[in-house]
Structure 1
């Protein structure tokens, strides 16, 4: 049943990608086994990572922080590379990493049915295996429940975002859509070990102006990345459901 849902979601999202090529991108953070972290712009589920020179340059200057055990933000240096933004080796690999890109230009996506919007990007990398405590940090945020790789809450402006639509992209690039409950909560399945990316979009109908260009709404887009270790208890339990 899970695979059928994923196939259906993949077909639906493929159609959306073809219809909205310019509006489908987001940022996300990955961390390899040596704890070297990188921020990407593109579409994880399509295995698409933008480059510089090119569309990666649309991301003007992301700000990135490590959250320490006390919940304090410690900003880290961001270096633009050809295929990503390099965040360096994260010595405290038990701490979450968060980032935001708020300088993205106003876009006229009226032909795509979105309107004239100011895109806002947010992302979080979560070391779920460490059962690290998490707290709300970003304007639009996907926050893990303590000690669980399957339970999350979506927040917007410090309040749970009811009925939020959350896409889950699995390590093999299958995808499935979940709808949060009235308290912004979702419970997902993680049947495979490896990296998962969760994505949510929220359109805030608030007109304004940025760099001399007027917009009709703010289009917030957030992601959360985490890894499920091979052979973990959580992964086995998820497979049994």
Structure 2
């Protein structure tokens, strides 16, 4: 029997999907600092971070469980991680074999349309191993960039929103903490925001946008494409 939540999500899609866009997102969680030659864990969650609501994987929308997580390391090679279903999240590991920055990302367009809208769920995060600052490039048009570090309570955490490598200005970005605190920021003329790290714990950042875009997806026509992009950072 389908859960009540799954039925509600299905009704939202039939009604046009706008509530679904605002309510649910995919996000990656991984500790920003790792150790060379030691397995490093990354997890994929789906739900409403602002309210602490994490959906069981059996209730994920459409074919979201079929998403893939890719990794680009200092050598610029792309690796697809093997994911295991843990019930409340998907989990994968990678073995960093050299010092430097590692970039993890997922981009998945759901098989089912919401009315005439195609939904694309995107997330990214960075992990730093030892020394080295060269940033591996990833094939995402829109990106939310935050340093791979553990920030301190009271710090102001800089974040950059770009599209095709250029800053995206005067756009709303939602910042949510595991303490239940959330705030909407607007990017400045350099595409940046400064986030007040008021509470310890994991923070998830989300930027969503809708584009007029016509096409055919799984043999069904659509007129709009929505993308929800997230990243995360840690405060201790």
Give the alignment's TM-score, normalised by structure 2.
Answer: 0.74
Q: Which residue of 1 aligns with 2:70?
A: 65
Task: State the shift of 1:189 in Å.
Answer: 1.4
Checking the alignment, whether the CA contact within 8 Å between 1:28 and 1:225 is kept in structure 2 is yes
Q: Which stretch of structure 1 is more off in the superposition, 44-53 or 217-226?
A: 44-53
Q: Number of aligned pairs?
A: 203
Q: Does 1:84 align with 2:82?
A: no
Checking the alignment, whether the CA contact within 8 Å between 2:30 and 2:127 is kept in structure 1 is no
Task: State the shift of 1:51 in Å.
Answer: 1.8
Checking the alignment, whether the CA contact within 8 Å between 1:128 and 1:227 is kept in structure 2 is no
Q: Does 1:153 align with 2:160?
A: yes
Name the structure where strand makes up a greater proportion of residues. Answer: 2
User: What SS does the aligned partner of 1:226 have?
Assistant: strand
Q: Which residue of 2 aligns with 1:123?
A: 123
CA pair 95-56 structure 1, distance change in 2 beyond 3 A? same
User: What SS does the aligned partner of 2:102 have?
Assistant: coil
Gaps of 5+ in 2: 1-16, 152-156
Match of 1:142 among 141, 144, 149: 144
2:168 & 2:228 partners in 1: Cα distance? 13
Gaps of 5+ in 1: 1-18, 109-115, 231-241
Moved over 3 A (4+): 32-35, 127-136, 145-149
Checking the alignment, whether the CA contact within 8 Å between 1:97 and 1:126 is kept in structure 2 is yes
Q: Which stretch of structure 1 is more off in the superposition, 46-55 or 125-134?
A: 125-134
Checking the alignment, whether the CA contact within 8 Å between 1:62 and 1:78 is kept in structure 2 is no
Give the alignment's TM-score, normalised by structure 1.
Answer: 0.72
Q: Does 1:175 align with 2:182?
A: yes
Q: Which residue of 2 aligns with 1:22?
A: 20
Higher relative contact order (CA 8 A, sep 6+): 2
Task: State the shift of 1:159 in Å.
Answer: 2.9
CA pair 186-157 structure 1, distance change in 2 beyond 3 A? same
2:134 & 2:61 partners in 1: Cα distance? 32
Task: State the shift of 1:84 in Å.
Answer: 1.5
Name the structure where helix makes up a greater proportion of residues. Answer: 1
